[in-house]
Structure formats: structure tokens, C-alpha cells
Structure 1
Amino acid sequence: MENSFGVALDFSHVQLGDRPLVVCDVDDVVLDFAAPFTEFIKAEGLELLPRSFRLTGNIVSVETQVPIEEADVKRLIGAFFDRQEDWQTPSALSIETLKAIGKAADVIFLTAMPPRYQEQRRRLLDRLDLTFPLVATEEKKGPVMQMIHAARPLPSVFIDDMAHNLHSVRDHVENCLLIHMMPDSPLHQLAPKPDQPIVRATDWPHAAQMIDAYILSHIPHHRTAK
């Protein structure tokens, strides 16, 4: 499927019902990334020094304290995603909360990663009993969510830890509840703050409360399963 933004993706596995839509990022929202990745790179004699909210320039040799090149950062991220099943664990209360939300809404995972690692991520999520549809892409998330939600007259929600992804969805999907949720990691403390009307969730139960209230305001008979 391709829209006017030139984004070509296969959504044949995504079947939406007559229900609200919740689209959710994965890394550092559903699955921990920053902490296990920091441990992962230690095997190569590297450490992450969070001096800004980026990996390139902040991953340094333990021995020399010299930052590694961008190409090596990309190689490490690829190697980590290739072995994500051995390293990534669910964020606190993400599994039970998402399964409860999924009883009253369609949940889709929209993960920013090269599609070649989708199979590993699919296996990991399935192992955690998070069987919701997964879309892995490096395209901007706003146009992608617009394609998924289309012109459905139902409430939509988007959850992410990155301000630029939230801004992208804000600019492409009208009347969407935008939730900023991220771990309290040294790296994320340096992250850019999203603009209004994006709201901050302190944890998964808090996110569920906001989702329930938002959908209830649009569909009075709605109740998120507890």
C-alpha cells in the first residue's frame, strides 16, 4: 500500500474492527532498550556516556574514551536487534496493561527499526503473549499511522518515547490522543520535550487511565477492561 507521502508498506496482516485504535511504539515503551543496549556494548569494550540524547558521539571506547564512528553505532544497533530476543525484556506492567487495553480497542505495534529484524521482534512479542499486529519501518510515523487509521470516525491513540514521532503523528492524524512515555534513564533525561497537546504518562497504568478517559469522552459506553 502506498499513499501520497510515498510510503509503501504491507498492512495485509492488520485487521481493524469497529473499535478505537491504539498505536504503540516498542523500544523503551513496551520493551526496554536503553538499559540492555548499554550492557550489550560492554562486550566490545564500549560504554554509553549520556551527554546528549543520541547514541552517535556518546558511545566511547572504555580504554581511550574516544567516540566510535556512526557506521559502527549502526552496526551495533543492528547486532543488538539481531539478538534482541536474548536481551530485551518488557517494561514494567506493559504486558498486562496492553492486554487489558486490547479487550476494548485495536492495538498495533509501530516500531522504528529496519524491517529485516521484524521476525525476531515478532517472536519476542509472541513469547510475551503480546500478539498484536506489528509494523516495523524506518518511515516517519505520522504518515504511517495516517495510512493505518485512514478516515475511520473512531478515537485513536499514539504512544511513543520520542518527541519527533509524536509531533509527526500530531501533524498527520487529527484528534489523536498523543501520549509521551519513556523510561527514567540517564539518556532519556536529556531527551527533547514534546510540544502541546502531547501528554506525559508516568507509567503504563497512568497511560491506561488517560486512554480510557479519552475514549470514554468519544464513546460514552466504552470501558477499558480491568
Structure 2
Amino acid sequence: MTLVPRDAVDLDAAHRDPIALGDRPLVVLDVDDVVLQFLAPFEAFLTSLGHRLVPRSFRLHGNILSSATEEALPDETVSQLILDFFEAQERWQTPFAEAVEALEALSRRADIVFLTAMPPVYALKRRRLLDRLGLCFPLIATESPKGPVVASLHGGRPLPVAFVDDMVYNLSSVASHVPDCLLLHMRPESPMHRHAPETPDPALRARDWREAQRILEAHVGAPADPRVTPI
């Protein structure tokens, strides 16, 4: 078992649960719009406040309007709304279909770590939400680039490693720091996501958790020895 050094992630810029990796493959996953729905509940959250999202491009700033005036909200207001949603996430966010079951099955073959892009101050709320859903895998919350974090976690071990995210720039960051990492692009189908960048080479695309589970299980190999205690 490998204990990830406490200085492997800048704790001033991240929340990090204790992480102990076994001698088996590693799968690192984004949370928002990969494991937990983000955009759909965020739209519902905006509606409850008298706003609406207009999917004119793949960005939130500039595309959230006041329902009363039809004017775009100022960027600073949109930024605060995102933080307010993270504050209220436990009341709004739910997992994608089959995500919980797929990760439970995958955890018999690999160590799983969540790497979520959010201000660390909201990490404990996310931790409670994930635990309530049975997703009790270690969580790192950071606003730093994800490539160095995944590289630090993996540590160049001669074992399969995979990274799953909905954002192309995160996939590219990991690709540049962990060249042997399987990159899996997952994003929900929505009018806004139609404006999102296409899956970059060499990443693979998974359209749902059934497809993602097949790809990841093929990459990490056979189930681990049941006598090995998962993280």
C-alpha cells in the first residue's frame, strides 16, 4: 500500500481526504457533470432565483439572464451564483444513472479518487453528499490544474491509471503530466454541451456510465484479490 505524501498536493490550495493507494490500478474522476449532475440542477437553481440559462456558448458567464429583464447578469453575479450553488449542492445534485453501481463495481478492480474542481471551502458539503450516496471514495477539491495532481497521486507507478472528466482542458492537463494515463471524456447531452469542444486525441469518449464502465474495466484488468482492502 502506498501512502500519498501530504505535501503531494498543496494543502493551502486544496482539500484532500486521507489517501492510501493499494498495489492496484488507479482511477481518478471529476465529479460535476461526470458523477454528479451539475448543469441540469444548476439551471433549476437559477430558475428558483428568477434567472435562466441561455445556451448560446459553452460558458456560464454571459449566458445567465434575469427572467424579469432578459438582460445578462454581470460576471461577478454569475460567479457568486456558482458559489451559492456549491453552498446549496446537497439539496440539488444527484448522481447520473448507473454511476453509483458502476463505481462500486470498478472499486473491486481499482482504487478510486475523486478530483473535483471547486473552492476547497465547499469540500465538506460535497463529502457529505457523496457519502450519503454511497460514494465513499477519497476526495480532493482544488482549483489548481489537474495534471500535476494526478501525476502526484500516480507517482509513476507501473500500474494502469485512468482519468475521467467532462472538460477538455482538464484532459489535456493530465495528458501532459501523465502520458501513460487513459483519458476518458464524459459529458452530458444538453443544448449547452453541444457548444463544448470535441473529444481530443488520444482521449476516448463515453456517452453514459455503462460505456464508461466497460472502457475502464478493460483498462484496469481483472478484479483485485478480494483479500485486499480497498481505500
| TM-score of the superposed pair, with normalisation by structure 2 | 0.90
- Output the amino acid matched with 1:166: L
Per the alignment, residue 183 of structure 2 pairs with: 178
Per the alignment, residue 229 of structure 2 pairs with: none
Q: Give the conservation status (yes or no) of the 8 Å contact 2:109–2:217.
A: no
- Matched residue SS, 1:124: helix
Per the alignment, residue 75 of structure 1 pairs with: 80
Q: Give the conservation status (yes or no) of the 8 Å contact 2:117–2:142.
A: yes
Residues 10 and 26 of structure 1: is their aligned pair in 2 closer, same or farther, counting only changes over 3 Å? Answer: closer
**How much does 1:8 deviate?**
5.7
Per the alignment, residue 59 of structure 1 pairs with: 64
- Output the amino acid matched with 1:72: T
Alignment partner of 1:137 out of 118, 137, 142: 142
Task: Give matches, 1:67-216, under 5 Å.
Answer: 67-216=72-221
Query: What runs of 5+ residues in structure 1 fail to find an aligned partner?
Result: 217-221
2-side partners of 1:36 and 1:58: how far apart? 16
2-side partners of 1:203 and 1:118: how far apart? 25
CA root-mean-square deviation: 2.1
Q: How many residue pairs get matched? A: 220
**How much does 1:215 deviate?**
2.3
- Matched residue SS, 1:111: strand
2-side partners of 1:43 and 1:8: how far apart? 32
Residues 187 and 160 of structure 1: is their aligned pair in 2 closer, same or farther, counting only changes over 3 Å? Answer: same
Q: Give the conservation status (yes or no) of the 8 Å contact 1:180–1:198.
A: yes
**How much does 1:194 deviate?**
3.0
1-side partners of 2:220 and 2:100: how far apart? 20
1-side partners of 2:23 and 2:160: how far apart? 10
Q: Give the conservation status (yes or no) of the 8 Å contact 1:101–1:224.
A: no
Q: Give the conservation status (yes or no) of the 8 Å contact 1:146–1:172.
A: yes
Query: What runs of 5+ residues in structure 2 fail to find an aligned partner?
Result: 1-5, 226-231
2-side partners of 1:118 and 1:209: how far apart? 29
| Deviation >3 Å, runs of 4+ | 1-12
* Greater Cα shift, 16-25 or 193-202: 193-202
Find out whether 1:40 has 2:45 as its counterpart. yes
* Greater Cα shift, 9-18 or 98-107: 9-18
**How much does 1:9 deviate?**
4.7
- Output the amino acid matched with 2:173: S
Q: Give the conservation status (yes or no) of the 8 Å contact 2:146–2:174.
A: yes
2-side partners of 1:122 and 1:184: how far apart? 26
Q: Give the conservation status (yes or no) of the 8 Å contact 1:181–1:200.
A: yes
1-side partners of 2:188 and 2:45: how far apart? 18
Per the alignment, residue 21 of structure 1 pairs with: 26
Q: What per-residue deviation string (whole Å, max 9, x for no partner) do you get for residues 82-124 of structure 1?
A: 1111000111100000010011100000000000000100000
Larger RCO of the pair (alpha carbons < 8 Å, separation 6+) = 2
2-side partners of 1:180 and 1:224: how far apart? 25
